[in-house]
Structure 1
């Protein structure tokens, strides 16, 4: 015998034993837990306790609802004066004590049947007391805002034109700073609950049904607990974006704070949304993406809950996915979001590198311009002569006047040779400058003073050459007095003067005051000075101090201070 045949046979035998038709057997869900409380004269509405939407699809399956009285099992039909059947509800327009009892709701479809019993309790009001004899209990917390819920709210959609009024100890409750109602008035908000807010609250609903006006009410015994807990607060994450590299690890804490005291009931979970699919994160620590057990701690102000999300190896599918931390308890639901994005270029780092590079280039540029200033200027003069004005037509005949005490006692013959031979060979022979050298270019028989004054007026520069003793001897002082024009040029600063120091001056005080002041002001070109090499100086010390074979840099410095000839053609400045 098959299993289905055995099940059918057992159902048939039970129906025979109970004297019921097998075709009328129903699945009985027993007696409903909730009770409907009423007092004589009210108009309670008894709804079918069966949750039909969980048994079958009422939109696609036809069904009908009937009510049976518990006392005799007879069906409640339309037309009875004490009952009104409306869809899935049984209404008592004017209930009496005799109507107290049980009523069974039977729901039938073409192939199935279900039934469940509802309980109606009718009690007389207690003499001398305003509160109803039957009441539910609701608890609220002190020191915070809390709510009371009207037990009749489940009937709002079953009646017409419902209106709810709240009472405390039979006194109507006004809407003020202490009490407030929602739109349907089925929720009573109590601000800053105090211990005195405990007591009996009644919500009375007035309504109409099939054109008949009725009312029903229920009472609540409100208990106030001194222990209070505020709503959870999600500290982090709050729409965070974390930049990570592929293959790296990430840990993120979901931190929830519950202020107050008591026993909090809070659940914290991580989930991830991949496109349209929601996945709750596993607690298995061996998984690549998992969440740690929730950690709870106590503070002076309340409680802190922390649950950590761990991603041991970030993959591409993790990028731009919505990781959410869900926080929920009896008062609602919170969620915080976090998104992983791949690391991109660090703009601050790039900006820092750019600014650092610019600063480095600026410093290098300043150093190069300082060290190679002479070379750069000469290069520009050679490559772009058209940037400078020509000296033609300025009324001058010579580029420079060469002033040097001629051979006197104690002076250097090598220096005399430098003035008369080396200097003209370089400046005149190589670079084409025109020089006036006293003793070479003056006419015989002319007075020295007249020659100096006339020559200086026709020169663009004054080159004053001196050695360690040439300007310090009595003969040099007499020579300087003879050249009044030279003295005036030095003292009055009437033309550009270039000092050429042929030997090292160990005692600067030996120089005439005017020359010493001029050297302190603008410096002197030192022909004796050689550039230092990496492994020491070349040559002996004495040769270094008295050499009259200047370096190429000395000649570049001389050219730097000489007049610019503008478009006139210059020779290659790399010669020295």
Structure 2
């Protein structure tokens, strides 16, 4: 042993241990005066045979510029007044830390950390407390208090992170009341088991948790443990939820006003102390709260409910500009459990097409109604014009086995002036117009029948050779008994009227005021298809000029306009007569295609 320690030990027996320590310290430090940061508030607790970790907290930016200033650290045992070195087994000095890898009761006491720089000196003491472990107890005499939040996922943090940072390698095991914990649906280890996650915390999770670390440092295996007293906090909050806006696309008119509400709900019970506040951002920049700004956010309105708290804040845009379109407006909120956002984007409104669409539909409906009315009024003229201009759309009547275009029949009674007028019309006027001007072939029994032929045979045979049947009648000719008898005698005519085997054209030469007096077959046919009323004098001469341009026989129309019957009556007759087309019949076309 050197002389100096021997003298000091002798002196210690005379003046006391504390005095010796002070002398040793003064001699070691010399005459310099170190700035004293006094004793640290936190104690270092350990038990025998476990490690103790002391850290010199003077090496930080608030004491001196340790990054740019050279310094050295010396540890002193104030109880014995000696410099702490690594000569004693189980002691290690690593940077700013002092470790006892195998603590004993003798290690309890105060240890001084002295930091020297070229110009200054700083000192601070740390107290080590070595407790005796209770036999049969899994935990440690000293505990650290931590709280878990009820009804949510929460975690406990092992207070041994300093040992983990200093160790070469380590492993950790968790215990609850001496029961080893494993990964399960309720517990999960994170960050090298330094964090214990407890899922869906309940009151049963309260108790004492111990994290035990086995580590290797400088080839020495050591252990250390800490016990956590876990309490369950029933007042809870969870992650906020932005209910509105929710990724919306809003269409607004240019120059209009806009008000959008941000609604945030925070589930929980601790509503009085919550700190969740919503904020509006526009393209990443905070929206001001100044009421004079064009875009502003209103004050927050908070409303508590039984299961949480609602926070609401509105975004006001006094006038929407074109620059506001396609920009994102975000409502952001955050608390200790996480953050949540909701946003919306402005888009210009679609053009208001209601007026033009309404006008278009109204014009279309008006044109349709006008077209229907015009077609009903000019149907005959349009069809005749189309037949004249496009005859190839209609099949030719050549080769259909018919000899006549129409069979003309009318009742004949002696001493009846109306029957005489009808007969004159049938024998003179009809041939003059239909045959001479339009080229139709008519069969008129009183004109074309051979003398001595049986009338019934002639009528039935000839009808089979005709394409139409023209029935001329008046009130006097068919509404009296003689007319009924005449119609019944015409067997072929009566059958045609009943079974409809031949197209019948009714020419009503006089006004029939009481149609019920007509024979039933004629009355039913008249009700079904109508009759051409020669007694009407309503003229359509206002349309004659236009149709004369499209018809080939304009001279015939011109002649008819000066006759007692109007030209429109004759156009209706022609409309009901067979079409004199030019297209070949299907049978003949098929034969030509076969050739």
Range of TM-score over shorter length: 0.7 to 0.9
Alpha-carbon separation, structure 2, partners of 1:57 and 1:557: 117
**Partner of residue 268 from structure 1, selected from 267, 273, 277:** 277
Alpha-carbon separation, structure 1, partners of 2:246 and 2:43: 44
* Alignment check: 8 A CA contact 1:229 1:260 kept: yes
1:198 and 2:210 equivalent? no
Q: SS state of the match for residue 252, structure 1?
A: strand
Alpha-carbon separation, structure 2, partners of 1:236 and 1:290: 17
Cα deviation for residue 462 of structure 1 reads 0.6
Q: How does 1:70-89 map to 2 (within 5 A)?
A: 83-89=91-97
Alpha-carbon separation, structure 1, partners of 2:381 and 2:43: 107
Note closer, same or farther for the CA distance 1:226–1:523 as it changes in structure 2 (3 Å cut).
Answer: same
**Partner of residue 336 from structure 1, selected from 334, 339, 342:** 342
**Partner of residue 565 from structure 1, selected from 580, 583, 590:** 580
* Alignment check: 8 A CA contact 2:539 2:566 kept: no
Note closer, same or farther for the CA distance 1:56–1:232 as it changes in structure 2 (3 Å cut).
Answer: farther
Q: SS state of the match for residue 470, structure 1?
A: helix
Q: SS state of the match for residue 388, structure 2?
A: helix
Note closer, same or farther for the CA distance 1:248–1:76 as it changes in structure 2 (3 Å cut).
Answer: farther
Residue number in structure 2 paired with 1:396: 402
Q: Tell which structure's C-alpha radius of gyration is larger.
A: 2
* Alignment check: 8 A CA contact 2:172 2:211 kept: yes
RMSD over aligned CA atoms reads 4.5
**Partner of residue 154 from structure 2, selected from 127, 136, 146:** 146
Alpha-carbon separation, structure 2, partners of 1:118 and 1:283: 51
Note closer, same or farther for the CA distance 1:474–1:259 as it changes in structure 2 (3 Å cut).
Answer: same
* Alignment check: 8 A CA contact 1:389 1:566 kept: yes
Note closer, same or farther for the CA distance 1:34–1:122 as it changes in structure 2 (3 Å cut).
Answer: closer
Alpha-carbon separation, structure 1, partners of 2:526 and 2:52: 119
Alpha-carbon separation, structure 1, partners of 2:531 and 2:58: 114
Cα deviation for residue 144 of structure 1 reads 3.6
Alpha-carbon separation, structure 1, partners of 2:211 and 2:567: 111
Note closer, same or farther for the CA distance 1:127–1:257 as it changes in structure 2 (3 Å cut).
Answer: same
1:307 and 2:313 equivalent? yes
* Alignment check: 8 A CA contact 2:108 2:130 kept: no
Residue number in structure 2 paired with 1:225: 233
Q: SS state of the match for residue 278, structure 2?
A: strand
* Alignment check: 8 A CA contact 2:251 2:349 kept: yes
Note closer, same or farther for the CA distance 1:95–1:252 as it changes in structure 2 (3 Å cut).
Answer: farther
Cα deviation for residue 188 of structure 1 reads 1.9
Question: Structure 1 stretch 47-56 or stretch 469-478: which is displaced more?
Answer: 47-56
* Alignment check: 8 A CA contact 2:34 2:123 kept: no
Q: How does 1:121-136 map to 2 (within 5 A)?
A: 121-125=128-132, 127=134, 130-136=138-144
1:297 and 2:303 equivalent? yes
Q: SS state of the match for residue 341, structure 1?
A: strand
Residue number in structure 2 paired with 1:286: 292
Note closer, same or farther for the CA distance 1:270–1:406 as it changes in structure 2 (3 Å cut).
Answer: farther
1:405 and 2:411 equivalent? yes
1:493 and 2:500 equivalent? yes
Note closer, same or farther for the CA distance 1:218–1:396 as it changes in structure 2 (3 Å cut).
Answer: same
* Alignment check: 8 A CA contact 1:134 1:219 kept: yes
Alpha-carbon separation, structure 1, partners of 2:336 and 2:223: 31
Residue number in structure 2 paired with 1:536: none
Alpha-carbon separation, structure 2, partners of 1:323 and 1:115: 54
1:42 and 2:17 equivalent? no
Note closer, same or farther for the CA distance 1:358–1:170 as it changes in structure 2 (3 Å cut).
Answer: farther
Q: SS state of the match for residue 391, structure 1?
A: coil
Q: What is the CA deviation profile of residues 509-564 of structure 1, one whole-angstrom value per residue up to 9, with x for unaligned ones?
A: 2111221233344443444568899xxxxxxxxxxxxxx96666554443332211
Q: What is the CA deviation profile of residues 343-369 of structure 1, one whole-angstrom value per residue up to 9, with x for unaligned ones?
A: 45699x99x999979996997699479
Residue number in structure 1 paired with 2:518: 511
Q: Which has the higher helix share?
A: 2
Alpha-carbon separation, structure 2, partners of 1:441 and 1:118: 149
Alpha-carbon separation, structure 2, partners of 1:386 and 1:420: 32
Cα deviation for residue 222 of structure 1 reads 1.4
Q: What is the CA deviation profile of residues 149-179 of structure 1, one whole-angstrom value per residue up to 9, with x for unaligned ones?
A: 2233465444332322222233322333333
Alpha-carbon separation, structure 2, partners of 1:370 and 1:332: 75
Residue number in structure 2 paired with 1:433: 440
Note closer, same or farther for the CA distance 1:174–1:414 as it changes in structure 2 (3 Å cut).
Answer: same
* Alignment check: 8 A CA contact 2:104 2:130 kept: no
Unpaired segments ≥5 residues, structure 2: 1-29, 541-562, 584-595
Alpha-carbon separation, structure 2, partners of 1:310 and 1:158: 56
Alpha-carbon separation, structure 2, partners of 1:270 and 1:316: 24
* Alignment check: 8 A CA contact 1:67 1:76 kept: no
